Each structure stands twice: as C-alpha cells, then as structure tokens.
Amino acid sequence: MERTLTQLPFWSSLTEQEQETLRRSAFVRHYEKGAFVHSSDNECLGRLFILSGEIRTYLLSEEGREVTLFRLYPGELCVLSASCVISQITFDTQMTAGIDTEVLIIPANIIAALKEKNLYVRCFLYELATKRFSDVMWAMQQIMFKGLDRRLAKFLFAEAERTGSDTIRMTHEQIAQHISSAREAVARMLKSFSEDGLVELKRGAITLRDENRLNRLK
C-alpha cells in the first residue's frame, strides 16, 4: 500500500498526518472487464486512482445510447467518481471497466477533508476537473463536427500509438462505444476501409495496412 500511495501526484505535498490518514483509509478494488464501476446516481464512491487496466466514462441517454467522454489509464485519477467533493460537477456519467482493472480508492470523506485542509490538493483537484471538462468538450466536438470515417481513422491511429501495435484487438461493439457510434455503422465503415486496402479485418482484430492514407483521412 505504501508503494501504491506514493504514486499519487499529490502524495509528497501531504503532511505526515495526512499521509497516515490515507494509509489507514485507502483501499484497492478489482473490477472485471465490463463491470460497472460508478454512476452519478449512486452514492459518492471517492477518488479513483487507476493502478492497472482502463475505465471508460460515458453518458447514457434515455434510449440507451452511449456517448464516450474519455478513458482513464494507469497513473490517472478520476475526478467524476468523487463529484460530491466538487459541487460544480453536476452532469450525470457512467463508468465501466474496459478491461480487467485495479484501482486505489480514497473514500469521499477523506478526499473532502484533504481538499479543505491542504491547498495543494484543492488546486490539484480543480485543475484535474478543468482537464476532464476539456476532454468532454473535445469529445462533443468530434461527435458534432467530424464524420464517422474521420473519427474512426483517428481512433485507430490513437489506439495503435497507445498500444505500440499496428493491430487493434477490439470488437466492432467496443470501437462503437469508444467513438460514440452504432456497431452497424462502425462495421460498415471498417468494411469500406478494408475494401480500400486501409486495414485488414480479422475476428476481434483490425490491422492497419496503409497508415499514410489513413492519416490523411483523419
């Protein structure tokens, strides 16, 4: 736990008493792939620090359509899971584990006390909230002003860069969730990419074949 806590961006700015409080209150939780992590409708979970895996944050419409806002990876903190601590965050979100995921959880009452007593923690949380708001605005811009072909090409490039592999191992449904589209539309667009020689499709995997043309498309 000590080694895990020292990974927190604000750990070195805490007093010895505050560090001890975290040692006694923080805990680790594991979520299997696809597991529900948190919703704004539920009780405030607390601050999540991603140790391994991936968490997808999204909006869910009354009709069941999902709009992905952003994804969090190891070493990143989730601000929306403790929205009760920052009252200015008012929109409803859902969170699920994209793959098997392990997180460090700092209970809401503890992070709230740290925010009130430690100026650095308070500034850090508001700065993080601002960054996540920027991520949300970027996602909305992509959905409203970019066509599916450009969004899909951009996602494939970003995923290949993140994983260091030309092969993206995802289903059409998973990709559709990430770029806020319908599975059928993604499948049609990938088929078009394949017919144009941009990608090669296999079950559960997409391999980039013509990165130059894909790059121009995005």
52 and 160 share one domain: no
Rounded to two decimals, the pTM is 0.67
9 and 69 share one domain: yes
Q: How confident is the model at residue 121 (pLDDT cuts 50, 70, 90)?
A: very high
Q: Is residue 132 part of a domain?
A: no
Q: Which of 117, 138, 169 is the last residue of a domain?
A: 117
Percent share of the chain, pLDDT over 70: 91
Residue-range definition of the domain harbouring residue 87: 1-117
Q: Is residue 127 part of a domain?
A: no
**What pLDDT is stored for residue 113 in this prediction?**
92
67 and 157 share one domain: no
**What pLDDT is stored for residue 85 in this prediction?**
53
- Confidence check: pLDDT of 29 > 90: yes
- Confidence check: pLDDT of 193 > 70: yes
90 and 192 share one domain: no
- Read off the CATH number of the domain in which 42 is found: 2.60.120.10
7 and 112 share one domain: yes
**What pLDDT is stored for residue 123 in this prediction?**
92
75 and 4 share one domain: yes
Q: How confident is the model at residue 142 (pLDDT cuts 50, 70, 90)?
A: confident
Q: Are residues 106 and 25 in contact, defined by beta-carbon separation less than 8 angstroms?
A: yes
Q: How confident is the model at residue 103 (pLDDT cuts 50, 70, 90)?
A: very high
**What pLDDT is stored for residue 23 in this prediction?**
95
Per-residue model confidence as pLDDT tens digits over 59-100: 877 777 778 888 899 999 887 665 555 555 555 678 899 999
- Read off the CATH number of the domain in which 173 is found: 1.10.10.10
Q: Is residue 18 part of a domain?
A: yes
Q: Is residue 192 part of a domain?
A: yes
113 and 151 share one domain: no
**Between 43 and 51, the higher pLDDT residue:** 51
**Between 211 and 16, the higher pLDDT residue:** 16
104 and 166 share one domain: no
- Confidence check: pLDDT of 12 > 70: yes
Q: How confident is the model at residue 14 (pLDDT cuts 50, 70, 90)?
A: very high
Q: Is residue 52 part of a domain?
A: yes
**What pLDDT is stored for residue 42 in this prediction?**
63
**What pLDDT is stored for residue 82 in this prediction?**
53
**Between 86 and 189, the higher pLDDT residue:** 189
77 and 154 share one domain: no
207 by Cβ neighbours in 10 Å (0-12 / 13-18 / 19+) ranks as: middle
**What pLDDT is stored for residue 84 in this prediction?**
58
How many domains, the chain? 2
35 and 81 share one domain: yes
Residue range 103-108: average pLDDT? 92
Residue range 210-218: average pLDDT? 81
